[in-house]
Amino acid sequence: EVGLQAGLTALKTPLCVGADKGQCSVDCPVCCDAGRTLAAGLPFSHQAHSKLICRISGEQMDEHNRPMALPNGSVYSSNGLKAMAAASEGGETVTCMRTGESYHVSELRSVFVL
C-alpha cells in the first residue's frame, strides 16, 4: 500500500482532484474515480516542468505535436486537431471540446510556449 501511495503522490496534481473532470488527463491514474479516492489524503507532487496534454488525443504537446489555438482560446494538439478535421464532413472543421463551437482549420493558430 505504501508503494501505491508513493506512486500516486508522485503523479497527483491539483487538476487531478479539481471539480472539472474534463481537465484531467486520460492517461493519469489519479484522475480516474478509483485513483481520486485512493489519493484523497495524499499531498500533491512537486512538478518542476509542466507538460501540455491534448484533451482530444491525450498526447503530450511538444515541437513534434505543436499546440494550436482555436479562436475561442482553447488549445489542442496539432495531431488531435488533424484527426478531428479528417473525421469531419468535408475534412476541414474542428469542434471545441469545451464549448461545442466549430471552426474551419484556417482559423487555427500556432501557440508558442517559452
What would the pLDDT profile of 16-74 be if each residue is shown by its tens digit? 776 565 666 667 888 877 888 888 888 888 777 778 889 899 899 999 999 999 999 99
Higher-pLDDT residue of 25 and 110 is: 110
- Residue in 37, 40, 16 with CA at minimum distance from that of residue 27: 16
Give phi and psi for 77, each to the nearest 5.
Answer: -80, 155
Residue 35: predicted pLDDT: 81
Can you give the pTM of this predicted structure? 0.65
Asked if 66 and 78 count as a contact pair (C-beta separation under 8 A), the reply is yes
Find cell 479528417 and name the residue. Answer: 86
